[in-house]
Amino acid sequence: MIPNDVRITPELIAEHGLKPDEYQRILDLIGREPTLTELGIFSAMWNEHCSYKSSKKWLRTLPTTGPRVICGPGENAGVVDIGDGQAIIFKMESHNHPSYIEPHEGAATGVGGILRDVFTMGARPIAALNALRFGEPDHPRTRHIVSGVVAGVGGYGNSFGVPTIGGEVNFDPSYNGNCLVNAFAAGLADADKIFYSEAKGVGLPIVYLGSKTGRDGIHGATMASAEFGENSEEKRPTVQIGDPFSEKLLLEACLELMASGAVIAIQDMGAAGLTCSAVEMGAKGDLGVELDLDKVPCREDGMTAYEMMLSESQERMLMVLDPAKEKEAEAIFVKWGLDFAVIGKTTDDLRFLIKQHGQVMADLPIKELGDQAPEYDRPWIAAEKPKPLDPADVPAPNDIGDVLTRMLALPDMCSRRWVWEQYDHLIQGNTAIGPGGDAAVIRVENGPKGLAFTLDVTPRYCAADPREGGRQAVAECWRNLTAVGAEPLAITDNLNFGNPEKPDIMGQFVGCIEGIGDACRALDFPVVSGNVSLYNETNGKGILPTPAIGAVGLLDNFEQRVTVAFKAAGEAIVLIGETKGHLGQSIYLRDIAGKTNDRSAPPPVDLAVERRNGDFVRTEIRAGRTTAVHDISDGGILVALAEMAMAGGLGASVKPDAVLPLHAWAFGEDQARYLVTMPEKEAEAFIARAGKAGVPATRLGTTGGNELTLNGGVPISLTGIKAAHESWLPAYMAAGAEL
């Protein structure tokens, strides 16, 4: 019998986020009352964040394999073969709740966590991106959160030394009390030198490496699975502080250690730190783990077993080392000035045994801690299928130039330069396409290959029709990779939703997953890693369903890449794809026509068409027959055209469709479309090739001048739209200047 000086009361159980039936499960499993430390361990392992208990059933339906997939979901990150014996390792993960409570540190530690996931597997990080979603601009906390999150993301990535090359920034009232910080990282490794968390061998030393353990983030993982109430300010002490300097040392030490052959298994200490990492290592390897907490390097005196097991102090790693190489390993730790200690060993009894001061503080069955976690088939209601909107029902603008200018200056549409200029996007010297285009491209060290990265989701589409929204998020990623010339490889998903115990929210989740699955199967675009963030609610109101997708594509030669910028005057502009003028759920409808609560259908995604059009565009890009390519998404054709013009400093003259209402043609958000430019003399052949491939291609106009002209009408000055596009965000942030 393990001494337990704290009585386990129903209140204590509830405080640990465990439901009465879940506690009963614990009693049945261990046949006695747990100690406080054990209760803490169960709460960490069985909360939503670690156990995926509400989502697992649905996540299983996603395709996770493919000819290039080396490792799918279940490890620290997904691994995909990119040829020549190399692999790209990537994942996206949320740090939403901590970022709302303390924006700077919350975002910083989010970036730190995802970088660790990547280098734990043996990869040197080569790219970071992030999808950020904030409340409406007028909300009193929004500016403070934007400023803190951006500084936190930049502060960590810049110091660590990874280029932050893209992502998303959006504003919506549903995020007023619950911002989203989804951090993506990718790293490069040799395909035959990937490191996993599975421990192998009995009686081997378990080594702790990195920063000392403090009382940071005790119950962070539980917090990440709790709804916010009015008193969430009180949760401040649980937020961790990031130290990118230590993380950089940890990276170099880990890579050096891995190269020495000393590492048998490695796992980073993320959510619920020591508990999750040790259990995972043991359980995966069918081994027990014994830890002596007196050996754990601590930053504070008198830490209890409970605190040590649940601490979320950052920049820490756990590994199983080859005892024959212990001396060599020690020299590396000392060189990098990192704390390390042998804190335990692997055993053959499948127990998770925790000792402190010579006493047993926890003694639990290690496999069951993970395997026997509750799993729910939550009731769900599918949302009613929305009806398409007739463009004729949407008011037309008087002055199309004025509307375009306003659209380009909307919070969701304006330039994000203010954000990405705070990120070092050039470090490592391999940035081939930086932030601001369709996808960012990084040259693989020493070339000639290139890797393309993008993050996308359109939450308003997901809210209106979860399944169509899920498909669209994946399709837009695929399209963005295609638009730079890359072959789409695989995705990571970061599923942000409200409270899954509500059937309508669960319905959103199920719908989005189904849509993601549809698109992944149709586009041969498997999911190799991911993260689920539920309970994103404040006072009972959920966020827009936001299944953010991160995607990676491959260029055989980075020189094949193409950017959105117009390159020369007098070039032909061709529209790929069919334009029906779909205004349902469009930016025009919401922000210009002011229909914020419209229930109409989002643009449908025809995945076969998506694939056909995209494959054609990619082939043309790779053959060097295009000079600029841009996918058409938020804001439609005219916004895409304006973005190409602003990027290239060159105007264009175009001819709108003769049949559709002008605003439907200009701002409709039909899918599977691209704008492509090429030298005038090659346009005819290009359109003919498209025709042969069954791809709709329409000559739209010609580049040149300093203005955009529609059908010879009133010219729209590039200077004017560029000023509007560039100024909204800096002006907004300056208006509330603060630290």
Residues noted as catalytic:
49, 95
**Segment contacting other proteins by CB under 8 A, of 238-246, 318-326, 540-548, 589-597:** 238-246
How far the first Cα of the chain sits from its last, in Å, is: 54
Compare residues 431 and 494 and give the one whose CB is closer to other proteins: 431
The tokens for 348 are: 């053959």
Kindly tell me which residue out of 232, 428, 698, 727 binds other proteins, with binding defined by CB under 8 A. Answer: 428
Q: How far is the CB of 668 from other proteins (least distance, A)?
A: 35
The DSSP call for residue 390 is: P
Binding to other proteins by residue 739, rule CB under 8 A?
yes
Q: What's phi and psi for 128, nearest 5 deg?
A: -130, 140
Kindly tell me which residue out of 249, 414, 440, 646 binds other proteins, with binding defined by CB under 8 A. Answer: 249
**Angle value at C-alpha 155, between 153 and 161, nearest 5 degrees:** 95
Q: How far is the CB of 484 from other proteins (least distance, A)?
A: 14
Binding to other proteins by residue 211, rule CB under 8 A?
no
Kindly tell me which residue out of 55, 99, 240, 430 binds other proteins, with binding defined by CB under 8 A. Answer: 430
The tokens for 258 are: 């891995």
Binding to other proteins by residue 427, rule CB under 8 A?
yes
**Segment contacting other proteins by CB under 8 A, of 149-157, 388-396, 523-531, 717-725:** 149-157
Instruction: Please report the sign of the dihedral spanned by the C-alpha atoms of residue 274, residue 280, residue 282, residue 285.
Output: negative
Kindly tell me which residue out of 99, 130, 158, 703 binds other proteins, with binding defined by CB under 8 A. Answer: 158
**Could you identify the residue written with the tokens 């939550």?**
378
602 forms bridges with which residues in the sheet?
none
Whether omega for the bond prior to residue 20 falls within 30 degrees of 0, making it cis, is no
Say which amino acid occupies 341: A
Instruction: Please report the sign of the dihedral spanned by the C-alpha atoms of residue 642, residue 389, residue 469, residue 537.
Output: positive
Residues binding other proteins: what is the number (CB under 8 A)?
35
Compare residues 425 and 479 and give the one whose CB is closer to other proteins: 425
Kindly tell me which residue out of 105, 243, 268, 620 binds other proteins, with binding defined by CB under 8 A. Answer: 243
Binding to other proteins by residue 619, rule CB under 8 A?
no
Compare residues 6 and 734 and give the one whose CB is closer to other proteins: 734
Half-sphere exposure of 202 (CA within 13 A, CB side): 8
Burial annotation 439-468 (CB, 10 A radius, 16+ → b, else e): bbbbbbeeeebbbbbbbbbbbbbbbbbbbb
Helical residues (DSSP H) of 164-260, grouped into ranges:
220-223, 244-259
Compare residues 419 and 589 and give the one whose CB is closer to other proteins: 419
Question: How far apart, in whole angstroms, are the C-alpha atoms of residue 487 and residue 451?
Answer: 9
Kindly tell me which residue out of 432, 489, 562, 641 binds other proteins, with binding defined by CB under 8 A. Answer: 432
Compare residues 160 and 525 and give the one whose CB is closer to other proteins: 160
- Give all strands of the β-sheet with 316-321 in edge-to-edge order: 263-268, 316-321, 205-210, 339-347, 288-292, 351-356, 359-365
**Angle value at C-alpha 87, between 81 and 91, nearest 5 degrees:** 100
Q: Is residue 608 within 8 Å of 658, Cβ to Cβ?
A: no
**Segment contacting other proteins by CB under 8 A, of 109-117, 348-356, 402-410, 424-432:** 424-432
Kindly tell me which residue out of 72, 106, 125, 154 binds other proteins, with binding defined by CB under 8 A. Answer: 154
The 112-131 site mask, x for binding other proteins (CB under 8 A), equals --------------------
Kindly tell me which residue out of 27, 426, 569, 623 binds other proteins, with binding defined by CB under 8 A. Answer: 426
Neighbour tally for 69: CB within 10 Å = 18
Binding to other proteins by residue 212, rule CB under 8 A?
no
- Name which of 584, 585, 529, 577 is nearest 676 in CA terms: 577
SS3 of 589-647: the string is: HHHHCCCCCCCCCCCCCCHHHHHHHHHHHHHHHHCCCCCEEEECCCCHHHHHHHHHHHH
Question: How far apart, in whole angstroms, are the C-alpha atoms of residue 616 and residue 348?
Answer: 56
Binding to other proteins by residue 187, rule CB under 8 A?
no
- Name which of 30, 44, 32, 24 is nearest 4 in CA terms: 32
- Name which of 416, 375, 367, 273 is nearest 60 in CA terms: 375
Q: How far is the CB of 331 from other proteins (least distance, A)?
A: 13
**Could you identify the residue written with the tokens 């993982």?**
221
Residue 285 contacts by C-beta under 8 Å, 6 or more apart in sequence?
Answer: 198, 199, 200, 265, 346
**Segment contacting other proteins by CB under 8 A, of 41-49, 360-368, 379-387, 730-738:** 730-738
The 443-482 site mask, x for binding other proteins (CB under 8 A), equals x---------------------------------------
Compare residues 420 and 535 and give the one whose CB is closer to other proteins: 420
Binding to other proteins by residue 66, rule CB under 8 A?
no
Binding to other proteins by residue 161, rule CB under 8 A?
yes
Compare residues 31 and 429 and give the one whose CB is closer to other proteins: 429
Compare residues 93 and 424 and give the one whose CB is closer to other proteins: 424
Of residues 544 through 563, those in contact with other proteins by CB under 8 A are 558
**Could you identify the residue written with the tokens 């030198």?**
193
Q: What's phi and psi for 224, nearest 5 deg?
A: -65, -10
Binding to other proteins by residue 365, rule CB under 8 A?
no
- Name which of 721, 511, 735, 474 is nearest 614 in CA terms: 474
Binding to other proteins by residue 360, rule CB under 8 A?
no
Say which amino acid occupies 618: R
Q: How far is the CB of 632 from other proteins (least distance, A)?
A: 27
Binding to other proteins by residue 155, rule CB under 8 A?
yes
Q: How far is the CB of 356 from other proteins (least distance, A)?
A: 29
Kindly tell me which residue out of 425, 471, 611, 622 binds other proteins, with binding defined by CB under 8 A. Answer: 425
The tokens for 111 are: 């970036």
The 320-349 site mask, x for binding other proteins (CB under 8 A), equals ---------------xxx------------
Binding to other proteins by residue 566, rule CB under 8 A?
no
Q: Give the three-state DSSP class for 372.
A: coil
Compare residues 310 and 484 and give the one whose CB is closer to other proteins: 484
Q: How far is the CB of 86 from other proteins (least distance, A)?
A: 17
Binding to other proteins by residue 260, rule CB under 8 A?
no
Compare residues 558 and 665 and give the one whose CB is closer to other proteins: 558
Say which amino acid occupies 722: K
- Name which of 482, 503, 530 is nearest 62 in CA terms: 530
In what helix (H) or strand (E) does residue 14 lie, and over which residues does it extend?
helix 10-15
Binding to other proteins by residue 86, rule CB under 8 A?
no
Compare residues 126 and 695 and give the one whose CB is closer to other proteins: 126
What does the binding site for other proteins look like in residue numbers (CB under 8 A)? 151, 154-155, 158-161, 243-246, 248-249, 335-337, 420-432, 443, 558, 736-739
